[in-house]
Each structure stands twice: as C-alpha cells, then as structure tokens.
C-alpha cells in the first residue's frame, strides 16, 4: 500500500498501469488484434480527461477494473499490493462469470448500486469506452446496441451520484451525449435500404 509515499498519487497510478499491463499482457480485445490493456487504459484516460477526475485511487482502480474478472488476479492480490479501497472498487466492477448472463447482469447492477460512488464512476468510464469503441469499429468487442444498453444502465445507476459528485455529473453528461450519437447512428442504419 502507498499511504506513506511522498509521491503517492503518481506512484499509485504508475504502479497500477504497470500491474494491469503485466496481467493483461497476453490478452486481446475481441477483434483479436488490439491489446486488451488498451481498454482499461482508455477508461482511466476517459475518467481523467473527459470526466475531469484526478483522484489517484479512482484512476488506479480504473486501470485495473477488469483484473479479477479477466485474469488470475484475485481480491487478495489487489488488497496486498494496493489496499482495501482500490481492491473494493475493482471487486465492485467484477461480474460473477459462473452465472448465466441475465442473473449475472442483475447481480452486478445490484452490487454496483450498493458500492462506493467511485465504482459507478468507473463503470461510466467503462461503458463510455465500450460504446465509443463499438461505434468506431465494426469488429468492436461489444455491438453498438449492447454497448448502448449497458451505457443506459450505467447512467441509471449513477443518477443519484450527480448532485454530490461533480465528476459523476460530467460523466453522465458525456455518456449521454455519446449515447445520443449512437442512437442517431443506429437509427440511420435501421432506415437504410
């Protein structure tokens, strides 16, 4: 844990970036060309640049948000290396892949609803990136319609955070704008002969 380090904020996100890159090192996105780690890096950059949030723990957790779900990393690994707060945020972003999709998604949403608001902010960044990715590339990891549905769910989950947390308000506004663009694009595609 980095609580006593004089450059804690910089060291924290740098270590999280290195750890995530190492753990995702052999993984590719569904297009089978893009290194998987590009996704969590883009999520962290979205939170920092688009949502204007500099919180080092949020950025570190965003960089590592898929580690428990998609690698051999477990909660205890994160707890030992990064502390309880970050481990809890990553755990809140983790789906129980042993469940079928419908109950898995419902359980995930229930867990996010009860989690720290920062986990919902990371989820907004995650859905923002997946929706942008699906709109930009036909071989994206998530089809536009599915990414749009997940974006709507993330907005709904974070709606109560916007009054108390300006980063959440900026995130909801940014994701709503991308969702509107996706809707217009899907409408045009549906109406083409």
Domains of the chain with bracketed CATH: 8-190 (1.10.3210.10)
Q: Is 139 a catalytic residue?
A: no
Confidence at 5, pLDDT banded by 50, 70, 90: very low
The alpha-helical segments, DSSP class H, found in 28-115 are 38-45, 56-63, 67-70, 75-82, 84-92, 101-114
Q: Is 57 a catalytic residue?
A: no
* Orientation of helix 117-136 relative to helix 84-92, angle to 10°: 50
Residue in 70, 105, 109, 149 annotated catalytic: 70
Using an 8 Å Cβ cutoff, are 138 and 179 in contact?
Answer: no
Average pLDDT over residues 39-48: 98
Asked whether residue 84 carries a pLDDT value surpassing 70, the answer given is: yes
pTM assigned to the model: 0.90
Residue in 9, 69, 105, 149 annotated catalytic: 69
Q: Classify residue 48 by its DSSP letter.
A: I
Asked whether residue 7 carries a pLDDT value surpassing 60, the answer given is: no
Asked whether residue 3 carries a pLDDT value surpassing 60, the answer given is: no
* Distance between CA atoms of residues 130 and 136, nearest Å: 10
β-partners of residue 110 are: none
């Amino acid at each position: 844990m980095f609580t006593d380090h004089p450059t804690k904020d910089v060291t924290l996100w740098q270590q999280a970036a290195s750890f995530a890159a190492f753990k995702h090192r052999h993984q590719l996105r569904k297009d089978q060309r893009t290194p998987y780690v590009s996704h969590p890096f883009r999520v962290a950059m979205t939170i920092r640049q688009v949502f204007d949030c500099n919180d080092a723990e949020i950025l570190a957790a965003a960089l590592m948000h898929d580690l428990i779900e998609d690698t051999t990393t477990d909660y205890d690994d994160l707890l030992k290396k990064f502390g309880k707060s970050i481990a809890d945020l990553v755990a809140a972003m983790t789906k129980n892949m042993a469940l079928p999709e419908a109950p898995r998604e419902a359980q995930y949403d229930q867990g996010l609803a009860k989690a720290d608001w920062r986990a919902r902010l990371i989820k907004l960044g995650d859905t923002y990136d997946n929706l942008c990715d699906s709109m930009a590339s036909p071989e994206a990891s998530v089809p536009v319609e599915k990414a749009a549905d997940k974006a709507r769910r993330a907005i709904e989950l974070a709606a109560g955070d916007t009054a108390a947390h300006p980063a959440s308000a900026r995130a909801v506004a940014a994701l709503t704008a991308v969702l509107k663009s996706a809707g217009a694009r899907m409408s045009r595609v549906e109406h083409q002969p």
